[in-house]
């Protein structure tokens, strides 16, 4: 989730001034920011750090490509499915209480990952980790908004919060590769323990609680339908490569996913306080930017998974060398994030989004010639272009989405964008991993994944350009 919005949630900005502001020392506010940054940073760290361990985890626990897909996807499925409910829970009983619980869950699950004796336990622990991540992200923003009541100060705080997460996203592969080389793959989860303990203490000691809204309902039927639908769809795609697409269990998985998705939509239409307000999609630019976020994440995070396997299994690179290979790609995101708003002011947000997606598509297209033993220098520039394209499109994408809805709904709109993008990550890893897992044709699957990514990214560029050029109907 690089390039997160630098706006504070308006739902909290405009909340009644019933939230009591306790006496705070001069260090309380910056230390609250530090705790929130640790929370978001550790979530982003685990998005990328695991990819460098795929080869080592596979060699240690077995399970093939489908097992590795589940190790990655279990985290993002829970992350995508629970993030909206976690924000609502924070509104209902207090964001600090929920955030602290989320940090404790994430930290405990990280220890369970490190101690996992087999792939099944690891996948289950990763799912719990993803749930903890879903709790941390929206409530960290809520607590930042509470700690910095002035818009300008809050904007600066969120910028620091997002920059720290981008740094963690970039450092993840390198740190993970180094730890695996020195200690082993389990160490990439142990590293979360000191971060988690520090974040827990800082948030418990210095963050102040937000006002509770007891009337805020939790859409439990919608939540259950969402996670079941997403899990069934991801499972059908992942297992399709190993069991065969005509296997009855795979077909049943697709059918169940479709039925649950329809039940989810029906539930959201009739719920008084839905988990996902469908009326938001009546705003054309909201719908378009959500679609772009989904398509971009399918391509980007699916390719990270594929490149991790390619570097380690096809080219035989070590985890550290694999992590090092991702640094330029991830490192391009943050500086281009900073340039993107200025470019959007000059040529417009839709054009900037389209340019970012087109650049990433060009980078994918230029990588179609990779083969066994392709040197890194022949790939580095293309990887930087892919990362730079992502960095260019996400800030205007987020600001356009938030600007497409009423100010008081920007908090839920940001949550929907995060959920949509994480859903794209789940589908990307499931789809591209399945292509690479067929008959051990990893290189062929990598080429197919690049072709699909080009198509998805260009489709996103066309969608945003065409949608933005149409006259408004509202």
5, pLDDT greater than 80: no
The third-level CATH classification (topology) of the domain covering 279-474 is: Growth Hormone; Chain: A; (1.20.1250)
CA 180 to chain centre: 23
Judge whether residue 473 has pLDDT over 70.
no
Q: Is the pLDDT of residue 70 over 70?
A: yes
pLDDT band at residue 474, thresholds of 50, 70 and 90?
very low
pLDDT band at 240 (very low <50, low <70, confident <90, very high): confident
pLDDT at 17: 38
Mean pLDDT computed over every residue of the chain = 86
> Residue 251 — very low, low, confident or very high, per pLDDT cuts 50/70/90?
very high
Whether pLDDT at 14 is above 90: no
With cut-offs at 50, 70 and 90, classify the pLDDT of residue 15. very low
Architecture in CATH of 27-206: Up-down Bundle (1.20)
Query: Minimum mean pLDDT among 39-48, 171-180, 211-220, 300-309: which range?
Result: 211-220
Q: Give me the percent of the chain exceeding a pLDDT of 90.
A: 42
Residue 256, pLDDT > 90, answer yes
- The pLDDT assigned to 26 comes to 66
pLDDT at 22 over 80: no
**447, two tokens:** 């080429």
> What are 142-194's pLDDT values in tens digits?
888 788 877 677 777 877 887 777 788 888 888 888 999 899 999 999 999 99
Distance CA 465, CA 183 (A): 49
Taking the C-alpha atoms of residue 258 and residue 140, their distance in angstroms, rounded to an integer, is 33
Global confidence as pTM: 0.85
Interval 273-293: pLDDT, tens: 888 888 888 888 889 999 999
């Amino acid at each position: 989730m690089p390039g997160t919005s630098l706006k504070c949630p308006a739902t909290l900005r405009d909340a009644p001034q019933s939230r009591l502001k306790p006496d705070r020392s001069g260090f309380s506010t910056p230390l609250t920011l530090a705790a929130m940054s640790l929370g978001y940073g550790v979530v982003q760290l685990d998005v990328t750090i695991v990819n460098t361990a795929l080869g080592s985890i596979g060699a240690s626990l077995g399970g093939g490509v489908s097992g590795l897909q589940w190790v990655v996807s279990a985290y993002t499925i829970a992350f995508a499915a629970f993030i909206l409910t976690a924000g609502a829970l924070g509104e209902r009983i207090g964001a600090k209480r929920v955030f602290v619980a989320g940090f404790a869950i994430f930290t405990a699950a990280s220890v369970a990952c490190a101690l996992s004796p087999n792939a099944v336990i690891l996948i289950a622990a990763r799912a719990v980790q993803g749930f903890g991540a879903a709790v941390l992200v929206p409530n960290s923003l809520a607590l930042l908004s509470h700690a910095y009541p002035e818009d300008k100060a809050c904007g600066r705080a969120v910028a620091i919060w997002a920059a720290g997460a981008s740094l963690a996203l970039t450092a993840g592969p390198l740190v993970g590769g180094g730890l695996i080389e020195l200690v082993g793959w389990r160490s990439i989860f142990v590293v979360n323990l000191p971060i988690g303990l520090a974040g827990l203490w800082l948030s418990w000691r210095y963050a102040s609680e937000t006002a509770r809204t007891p009337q805020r309902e939790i859409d439990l039927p919608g939540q259950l339908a969402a996670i079941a639908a997403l899990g069934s769809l991801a499972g059908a795609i992942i297992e399709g490569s190993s069991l065969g697409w005509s296997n009855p269990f795979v077909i049943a998985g697709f059918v169940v996913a479709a039925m649950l998705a329809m039940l989810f939509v029906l539930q959201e239409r009739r719920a008084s306080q839905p988990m996902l307000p469908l009326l938001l999609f009546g705003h054309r630019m909201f719908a378009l930017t959500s679609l772009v976020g989904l398509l971009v994440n399918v391509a980007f995070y699916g390719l990270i998974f594929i490149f991790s396997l390619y570097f380690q299994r096809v080219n035989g690179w070590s985890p550290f060398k694999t992590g090092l290979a991702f640094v330029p790609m991830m490192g391009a995101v943050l500086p281009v994030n900073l340039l993107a708003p200025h470019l959007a002011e000059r040529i417009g947000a839709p054009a900037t989004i389209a340019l970012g997606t087109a650049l990433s598509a060009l980078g994918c297209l230029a990588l179609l010639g990779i083969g066994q033993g392709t040197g890194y220098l022949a790939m580095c520039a293309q990887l930087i272009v892919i990362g730079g394209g992502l960095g260019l499109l996400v800030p205007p994408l987020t600001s356009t989405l938030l600007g497409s809805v009423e100010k008081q709904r920007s908090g839920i709109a940001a949550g929907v964008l995060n959920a949509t993008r994480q859903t794209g990550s789940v589908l990307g890893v499931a789809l591209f991993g399945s292509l690479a897992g067929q008959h051990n044709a990893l290189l062929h699957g990598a080429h197919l994944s690049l072709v699909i990514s080009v198509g998805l990214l260009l489709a996103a560029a066309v969608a945003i350009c065409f949608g933005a050029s149409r006259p408004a109907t509202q």
